């Protein structure tokens, strides 16, 4: 299907990415599994072969979750000075849950932004 704006109204990429929806129509599913990108949209037929988020989502998740968890753990240690087992009980599950949730959201957001901005792999210009 052609990318005609009259057929497919603009979709807000952040919202579509978080909800795991198609970047063109906002209705079809973006993922087949938890992180596996579907082959195409079940609603509008958009081919998702362009979608390649690479290691970007993992890098963002490491930075965001690391900042939050380490900052909160340091604050708690300095303020409350709890035993070590309290840190393990709080921070290990929080790190796992935040990482899993943010990984899917950020992957969806990066794919929808890639579609919106028509991002493609860089090519060298052969003209001299």
> Domain boundaries in the chain?
13-116
Q: Distances in Å between the alpha carbon of 85 and those of 14, 18, 43, 95, 98? A: 38, 34, 49, 15, 20
106 contact partners, CB below 8 Å, separation of at least 6: 17, 56, 57, 60, 61
Q: What percent of the chain has pLDDT over 70?
A: 93
Residue 122's SS3 state is coil
Region 11-20: mean pLDDT is: 96
DSSP state, residue 48: G
Predicted confidence (pLDDT) at residue 101 exceeds the cutoff of 70: yes
Contact of 61 with 103, CB cutoff 8 Å: yes
Q: Give the separation between CA 90 and CA 12, rounded to whole angstroms.
A: 35
Q: Which two tokens stand for residue 17?
A: 């990415």
Q: How confident is the model at residue 121 (pLDDT cuts 50, 70, 90)?
A: confident
The predicted-structure confidence for 34-87, as pLDDT tens digits, reads as follows 999 999 999 999 999 999 889 999 999 999 999 999 999 999 999 999 999 999
Contact of 22 with 30, CB cutoff 8 Å: yes
Could you tell me which residues are beta bridge partners of residue 47? Answer: 40
């Amino acid at each position: 299907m052609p990318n005609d704006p009259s057929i497919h109204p603009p979709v807000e990429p952040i919202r579509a990415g978080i909800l795991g929806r198609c970047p063109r129509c906002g209705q079809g599913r973006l993922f087949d599994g938890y992180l596996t990108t579907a082959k195409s949209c079940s609603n509008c037929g958009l081919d998702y072969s362009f979608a390649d988020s690479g290691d970007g989502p993992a890098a963002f998740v490491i930075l965001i979750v690391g900042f939050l968890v380490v900052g909160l753990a340091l604050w708690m240690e300095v303020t409350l000075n709890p035993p070590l087992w309290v840190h393990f009980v709080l921070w290990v599950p929080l790190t796992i849950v935040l990482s899993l949730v943010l990984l899917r959201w950020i992957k969806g957001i990066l794919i929808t932004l890639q579609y919106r901005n028509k991002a493609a792999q860089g090519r060298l210009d052969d003209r001299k």
